[in-house]
Amino acid sequence: MVATSTRSPEKPDVLVEVEGLQTYFLTRGEPMRAVDGVSFKLHSGEVLGIVGESGSGKTITGHSILGLVEPPGRVVGGSIRFRGRDLLALSDEELRQLRGDAMAAVFQDPMMTLNPVLRIDTQIMEAIWSHHRVSKVEARRRAVDVLRLVGIPSPEKRASAYPHELSGGMRQRVVIAIALVNSPALIIADEPTTALDVTIQSQIIYEMRKLCREKGTAMIWITHDLSVVASLADRICVMYAGEIVEEGDTEKVLGQPAHHYTRGLIASIPSGSQPGEQLPQIKGMITRYPAADQGCRFRDRCPAKTDLCDTRPPDVRVSDSHSAKCHHPAHASAALAQESVS
């Protein structure tokens, strides 16, 4: 119900504000700049989709917000504000208190996210107990409630099962239940449906969307699949090589993509084109530039590249709620879609 109202930019209740985030992996040799200057805002109740190819830094962005980046990875620059507090300045304990309470996470592979030797209810109750002092009976009641909420049949019985006794879809529901149990303000869902079957994937997306709408929870939905966020997100960030190259309302980004990378991505989805025809494709593959490089990171693969792209960092606002890191944003979509075909 709040979804539509919070989306308007005038509303000041910014929940998360990421500013110039840089997360590097300091391994042998040159650091791996997994996230390199990512900025975005997320309002309460809003669903933000982060899309991008494998390795573009989506997961690490999510982990940086949650404070889960592990050595050799480190947040080396930028700031993350959650309800106005700088997360990077918090102590480990303060961060822990936030995690799982005010902000929760759902990971990709439900087979791996649940501890195989602990029962489902234990894993839910420990999430409660890590943040609230409640009795065992109460904790268990909450656990069963939240399991029912995510659509697990006969939750009282299932609560005492071990993870391996559940199917993949059920397990992912349990993971979502764990994320929801403390009624967080923010859920970071990292490809939560990628490991699931098509029909189950649809169910999960459908239910997640419903839950967030009902509870007014904000969500960051990370995926490599544009069509998944299309039906889900209010706004979309497109990541490429550690940067957000385009950001905006879902309809804008998908309907009138400004960055040539976004356009290429959309065009290469097979269901969008006529069966049997050549799919438009982005030429080449991702290029890693040296740290000192100032130019556009997509320039090698871009159909609209000019000399300008080699030297200056691009940044363009297409409209109020739509921006792209491109010197030559595409306006007339039809013409450029043809161009990006190699």
Partner 1 sequence: MTLYILRRILQSAFVALAMSMIVFVGLNVVGNPVDILMPADASQQDIADAIARLGLDRPLHEQYFVFLKNALTGNLGISFVNGQSALATVVERLPATLELAVVAMILALVIGIPLGFLAGLRPNSLPAKAIMSSSIVAFSLPTFWIGIVFIMLFAVQLGWLPSGGRGLTRSVFGLELSVLTLDGLKHILLPALTLSLFKIALIIRLTAAGTVEVSGQDYVKFARAKGVRRGRITYVHILKNVILPVMTVSAMEFGNIIAFSVVTETVYSWPGMGKLLIDAIRMVDRPVVVAYLIVCVLIFMILNLIVDIVYSILDPRISLKSESA
Partner 2 sequence: MNAAASIKPQILLSARGLSKTFRAEDDLIARIARRIGLAGPPSVVRALDDVDVTIHKGEVLGVVGESGCGKSTLGRTLAGLIKPSRGEVLYQGQDIHGKGANNKLRLKMQMVFQNPHASLNPRKRVGDIIGEAVRAHRVVPPRDVDRHVSAIMESSGLDPQWKSRFPHQFSGGQRQRINIARALAVKPDLIICDEAVSALDVSVQAQILNLFLELRRKFGLSYLFISHDLGVIRHVSDRIAVMYLGKVVEIGEASDVFARPAHPYTQALVKEIPSIKRDVNSFQPIKGELPSPLSPPSGCHFHPRCEFAGPRCRSEVPRLTTLANGHQAACHLLTPGDVTQEAAA
Partner 3 sequence: MSESHRRPFSLLPGKLLSGKSAEPSPGRLFWMDFFASPVATLSLVVLIVIVLAAVFAPLIAPQNPYDLSVLDIMDSRQPPGSESSTGMVFLLGSDGAGRDIFSAILYGMRTSLLVGISSGLLGMGMGVTIGLVAAYKGGRVETVIMRIVDLQLSFPTILIALILLSVVGKGVDKIILALVIAQWAYFARAVRAAALAEQRKEYVEAARVLRLSHARILFSHILPNCMPSLIVIGTLQTASAISLEATLSFLGVGLPPTEPSLGLLISNGFESMMSGRYWMSLFPGIALLIIIMAINLVGDQVRTVLNPKGRG
Ligand X SMILES: Nc1ncnc2c1ncn2[C@@H]1O[C@H](COP(=O)(O)OP(=O)(O)OP(=O)(O)O)[C@@H](O)[C@H]1O
Q: What residues line the site for ligand X (CB under 6 A)?
A: 25, 27, 32, 34, 52, 54-60, 73, 224
| DSSP string over 242-263 | TEEEEEEEHHHHHHS--SHHHH
Q: Which entry of partner 3, partner 1, ligand X, none binds 286, CB below 5 to 8 A by partner kind? A: partner 3
Tokens (6 digits) for 322: 């739509």
- The window from 31-39, 93-101, 272-280, 330-338 that contacts partner 1 (CB under 8 A) reads 93-101
Site for partner 3 in 92-111 (CB under 8 A): 108-109, 111
Buried b / exposed e over 170-196, threshold 16 CB at 10 Å, is: bbbbbbbbbbbbbebbbbbbbbbbebb
| 26 touches partner 1 (CB under 8 A) | no
Nearest-angstrom CA–CA distance, 71 and 58: 18
Q: Is the dihedral of CA 90, 93, 94, 96 positive or negative?
A: positive
Measured CA distances, 198 to 74, 162, 188, 194, 195 (Å): 35, 24, 21, 9, 9
Specify the DSSP class assigned to residue 99. Answer: B
Q: Which is closer to partner 3, CB of 121 or CB of 191? A: 191
What is the closest distance, in whole angstroms, from the C-beta atom of residue 96 to partner 1 in the complex?
Answer: 5
Site string for partner 3, 39-78 (x = CB under 8 A): --------------xxx-----------------------
Cβ atoms 103, 186 nearer than 8 A: yes
Q: What is the total count of residues that contact partner 1 (CB under 8 A)?
A: 30
Cβ atoms 125, 143 nearer than 8 A: yes
Site for partner 1 in 119-158 (CB under 8 A): 119, 126-127, 130-131
* Binding-site ranges for partner 1 (CB under 8 A): 66, 68, 70, 96-101, 104-105, 107, 109, 112-119, 126-127, 130-131, 162, 164-165, 175, 178
Can you give the binding site for partner 3, defined by CB under 8 A? 27-28, 53-55, 108-109, 111-112, 168, 191, 194-195, 285-288
